[in-house]
Structure 1
Amino acid sequence: MKYQDINARTIDHWVHEGWQWGIPIDHATYLAAQQGQWSMVLTPTKAVPRDWFPTTFENLKVLGLAAGGGQQMPIFAALGARGTILDYSPAQLDSERMVARREKYEIEAIRGDMSQPLPFADNSFDLIFHPVSNVYIADVRPVWAECYRILKPGGRLLAGLDNGVNFLFADDDESQVKFSLPFDPLIHPEQMASLQASDSGVQFSHTLDEQIRGQLQAGFKLRDLYEDTNGEGFLHEHGVPTFWATWAEK
């Protein structure tokens, strides 16, 4: 089985078990967004600054890239955007469709593997919203090139990125370094065994070179960024950032 299919199956299982990032927003949250009361996250705890978003969402074409789960795309819909979601987890796509039916808006929900060329024409979208998810693919540079291709001139890429620190640790207490970076279970059997033991799918660390420099090399202009923590645990308690979020523009 390809590692991408293992990850889709794993995430489906997490969703059915009540995974935090697979719980759709409720009706009250959708109504509040329609009244201008909303926030979104790209990383575990910090809300994306409002000035990272366009001043108006009406008819904005938004792609949720590996962003299924019914958490952000319904907010975009409530604000007047036209949404497309691409995700490889059927359960995450089902959540998107469920919220769309409940709130009576349209969304194009596509099952697709972001490690492959994206199934969209050049200059298709005004904004791509990409929460932390590229830990589930081995090579992120082609993703940035595809995002650049499908964004319109002036379009925005808002991305959540894992900085790799979490992959140093094998245990939840995060107190003892076990692995070296880069973390690549396809070439390190002990890393794969650790992931399998914790039902974590197949995950990969990525460097600043791959993540942020990769966006720049794809042609993007970096407009802003911030760091975030896990939100809980040993590293969080010691103020260790484990995530970045970036606003890049074509």
Structure 2
Amino acid sequence: MDVTKHNSDAWDKKVDEGSRYTQQVSSETIRKSRAGQWEISVTTEKSVPRNWFPKVLDGLNVLCLASGGGQQAPILAAAGANVTVTDISKKQLEQDENVSKRDGLTLRTVQGVMSDLSDFEDEYFDIVVNPVSNLFIKDVKPVWKEVSRVLKNKGILIAGFTNPLLWIFDDNQERKGILDVKNSIPSSTLDYLPKNEVQDFIDSNNTIEYAHTLEDQIQGQIEAGFVISGFYEDDFGGTRILDNYIKTFIATRAIKLNDF
């Protein structure tokens, strides 16, 4: 099956349903961002530390990667950056376009897959912002390689991703408060289902997700030419039982070094 097309349609559906990560920021948020009072998140609850960014964004080329939804991209555009946002979902990108038109921002939207950035030239961007989204792609290493290619030397990658420990538990049981270790890593949503339920899941138009190893997430960045320079963890904000035991999301700041 075409997983990219499936997940694109699934995210379009999430926009129609008003999912949290499809809700565009307010005009008040854009006003504050223009005044220098801006912040973004690449995980679930925590904001990215401001010192992970250059002090001034004016004139910097920023790629918001797999980041549609009218959230990170408009804020960074309002803060002065030249922003391009790419996503597999047309409706997610329309959320960014809506904010741009509403609040008089300039940003570019490009529909595409995060592992293929052939629309962008080598070493063009100063910063790449990649919120939790590589769980929707089977192989994460090509993502890091493509990000490295389009980033300038000493460019910054700010990425959020899932701690694979989240995936080892039976999701239905965990939501009932029961931690039942069931799944191995790496794996995908479809691997967790009985064979007779796979087609029903596909027909339901839910996203197909992939659990990547920490080696692919972190060593994958290093192999692509990055040096990790920042790290923090995040969770579901206390709404899931796992929050009592471990953080299930990770954010990294990495610097591309051509001579590394």
TM-score range normalised by the length of the shorter chain: over 0.9
CA RMSD of aligned residues (A): 2.0
What is residue 176 of structure 2 aligned with on the other side?
173
How much has 1:187 moved relative to structure 2?
5.8
Distance 1:204 1:45 in 2: 21
What is residue 228 of structure 1 aligned with on the other side?
234
Q: What letter corresponds to residue 235 of structure 1 in structure 2?
A: L
Structure 1: 5+ residue stretches without partners: none
| 1:80-229 alignment runs, 5 A limit | 80-168=80-168, 169-171=170-172, 172-173=175-176, 175=178, 176-185=180-189, 190=194, 193=198, 196=201, 200-229=206-235
CA contact (8 A) 1:173 1:233 kept: no
225-234 vs 171-180, which moves further: 171-180
Distance 2:122 2:160 in 1: 23
- Compared CA separation, residues 68 and 102, structure 1 to 2 (3 A): same
How much has 1:57 moved relative to structure 2?
0.5
224-233 vs 76-85, which moves further: 224-233
TM-score in terms of structure 2 length:
0.90
How much has 1:199 moved relative to structure 2?
5.2
| 1:36-55 alignment runs, 5 A limit | 36-55=36-55
Distance 2:157 2:101 in 1: 27
Fraction of identical pairs, as percent: 38
- Compared CA separation, residues 203 and 112, structure 1 to 2 (3 A): same
How much has 1:35 moved relative to structure 2?
1.6
TM-score in terms of structure 1 length:
0.93
3-state SS of 1:108 partner = strand
Q: What letter corresponds to residue 177 of structure 1 in structure 2?
A: V
Distance 1:225 1:126 in 2: 19
CA contact (8 A) 1:228 1:241 kept: yes
How much has 1:201 moved relative to structure 2?
1.4
CA contact (8 A) 1:170 1:194 kept: no
Aligned length: 249
